[in-house]
């Protein structure tokens, strides 16, 4: 894939090294986003399980410090 | 009193012979030059001198200013006094670029800078806004935290701890990203720090995300520019403006 970078008013194709860095950054960002989504899903799942045990929302928040 | 300074603004009578001295005095300077406002005032209205009238120009050596007479008083035309905030550059972001660098905007002239961004969009929904010093989108030794508050309630804190960039909130897609940040000491041989705020909308334009952020880079590089980039996707449009804060 061709990437473009801009320096001031000049837009040019990324060099091979720049393209590799952009792709690496994108891969890392996507992995980070997945990890954050998994963490949020785990938190929601945990809350649901606590609620299923009969805890109120206030009790869950107190437990979790939310 | 300099070589151009004069003590009189002469008028010439009909039939009078103009000497080289006469010509050199007025034609040589264009705008009459006076040592002070006192000699300026004394140069008009006397015998053989022009009567002061509206539109008259004068240069005052003592204060290095150009003045004009408005019919009642003298007013200074220039040079204009520089403000506390001085415009340095404007960069319009191109189409589908992976990063945008603003170079040669930091120098020893100012210690601190204001950066504004308005009207920028990202191709990727909900992608983070990254800031780095220098011409590369990433570096080393960055520490930052961005507290993001979402109108939809999904608040988040993003951090870099000895990372490769400064967290600056999020880019928007369907609407526009706006950002303002202060950059402290980028061209001084000490740690450069940044504080700022950004606001954006998410991918479908229904949620506003407001971020306050701060960070820095732990090196003593004297930076001359900075780079903005998205975590994923590309950027299109918007203008980045840089201003210098007057040191005194």
What's the pLDDT at A11?
A: 95
Using a CB-CB cut-off of 8 Å, the residues of chain A touching B135 are 7
Instruction: Provide the 3-class DSSP secondary structure of residue A11.
Output: strand
Phi, psi (degrees; rounded to nearest 5) at B142: -95, 140
pLDDT band at B25 (very low <50, low <70, confident <90, very high): low
Number of alpha helices (DSSP H) and beta strands (DSSP E) in chain A: 2, 2
pLDDT band at B213 (very low <50, low <70, confident <90, very high): very high
Say whether residue A2 is in contact with chain B using an 8 A CB cutoff.
no
Task: Determine which of B93, B95, B98 to mutate to test the interface with A (most A C-beta atoms within 10 Å).
Answer: B98
Alpha carbons B127 and B173: distance in angstroms, whole number = 9
Asked if pLDDT for residue B28 goes beyond 80, the answer is: no
Q: Which pair of tokens denotes residue B130?
A: 């990254």
pTM of this prediction exceeds 0.80: no
Say whether residue A58 is in contact with chain B using an 8 A CB cutoff.
no
What's the pLDDT at B17?
A: 85
Mean pLDDT of B60-74: 90
Mean pLDDT of B225-229: 97
Asked if pLDDT for residue A37 goes beyond 70, the answer is: yes
Tell me: ipTM over 0.95.
no
Say whether residue A5 is in contact with chain B using an 8 A CB cutoff.
yes
Burial B73-92 (b: 16+ CB within 10 A, else e): ebeeeeeeeeeeeeebbebe
What's the pLDDT at B125?
A: 80
Mean pLDDT of B156-172: 93
pLDDT band at B42 (very low <50, low <70, confident <90, very high): very high
Alpha carbons B219 and B148: distance in angstroms, whole number = 27
Closest Cα partner for B127 from B234, B241, B22, B26? B234
């Amino acid at each position: 894939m061709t990437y473009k970078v801009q320096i001031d008013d000049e837009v040019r194709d990324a060099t091979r090294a720049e393209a590799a860095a952009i792709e690496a950054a994108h891969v890392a960002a996507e992995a980070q986003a997945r990890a954050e989504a998994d963490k949020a899903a785990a938190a929601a799942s945990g809350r649901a399980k606590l609620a299923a045990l009969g805890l109120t929302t206030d009790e869950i928040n107190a437990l979790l410090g939310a | 009193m300099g070589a151009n300074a004069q003590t009189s603004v002469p008028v010439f009578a009909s039939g009078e012979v103009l000497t080289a001295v006469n010509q050199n005095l007025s034609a040589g300077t264009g705008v009459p030059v006076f040592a002070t406002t006192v000699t300026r005032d004394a140069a008009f209205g006397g015998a053989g001198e022009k009567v002061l009238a509206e539109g008259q120009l004068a240069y005052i050596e003592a204060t290095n200013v150009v003045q004009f007479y408005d019919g009642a008083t003298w007013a200074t035309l220039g040079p204009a006094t520089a403000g506390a905030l001085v415009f340095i550059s404007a960069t319009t972001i191109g189409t589908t670029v992976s990063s945008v660098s603003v170079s040669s905007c930091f120098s020893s002239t100012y210690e601190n800078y204001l950066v504004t961004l308005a009207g920028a969009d990202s191709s990727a929904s909900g992608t983070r806004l990254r800031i780095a010093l220098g011409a590369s989108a990433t570096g080393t030794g960055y520490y930052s935290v961005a507290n993001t508050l979402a109108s939809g309630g999904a608040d988040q804190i993003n951090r870099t701890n000895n990372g490769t960039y400064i967290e600056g909130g999020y880019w928007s897609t369907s609407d526009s990203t706006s950002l303002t940040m202060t950059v402290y000491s980028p061209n001084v041989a000490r740690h450069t720090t940044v504080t700022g705020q950004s606001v954006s909308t998410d991918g479908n334009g229904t949620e506003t995300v407001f971020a306050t952020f701060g960070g820095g880079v732990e090196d003593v590089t004297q930076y001359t520019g900075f780079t903005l980039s998205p975590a994923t996707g590309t950027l299109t449009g918007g203008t980045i403006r840089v201003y210098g804060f007057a040191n005194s």
